[in-house]
Amino acid sequence: KAGVTQTPRYLIKTRGQQVTLSCSPISGHRSVSWYQQTPGQGLQFLFEYFSETQRNKGNFPGRFSGRQFSNSRSEMNVSTLELGDSALYLCASSLRGDGETQYFGPGTRLLVL
C-alpha cells in the first residue's frame, strides 16, 4: 500500500498570503489528522476529520481551517499568514481514528517571509 502523501513538500509564502496544503491518506483510511511541528512546541494537534466531518479541533486560531473530501483526501488552509506559521505541517491517517495507529506523511515545510 502506498503511504500517506502530502503536497507540496516545500512552500515559501509572504506574510498576509494564504496557503492550501493537501494530504492523501493510505487507501481505506477514513480518519485524517493535521499537526503543526515547530522546534519549540513539538507536535501540536490542529484538527481531525472523519467521513468529511471535523471531529476534533486543537487550540489554533480560526485562520487555520480544513476539510475532507468524499475520497478521504484532506486539505488544510491557513489564511493571513504570519511569520510564526512557519513550521512543518504533518498529516496522519488511520482507519477510523479510534485508538488506532496513526501513519504520518512526510510533511509540508512552510516558510513565511
State the cell numbers at 108. 509540508
Minimum distance from CB of 85 to other proteins (Å)? 19
Query: According to CB under 8 A, which one of 21, 48, 66, 74 is a site residue for other proteins?
Result: 48
Smaller CB distance to other proteins: residue 66 or 105?
A: 105
State how far the Cα of 70 lies from the Cα of 64, in Å rounded to an integer.
21
State how far the Cα of 31 lies from the Cα of 84, in Å rounded to an integer.
27
Residues that bind other proteins (CB under 8 A): 4, 31, 33, 42-43, 45, 48, 50, 55-56, 90, 92, 97-107
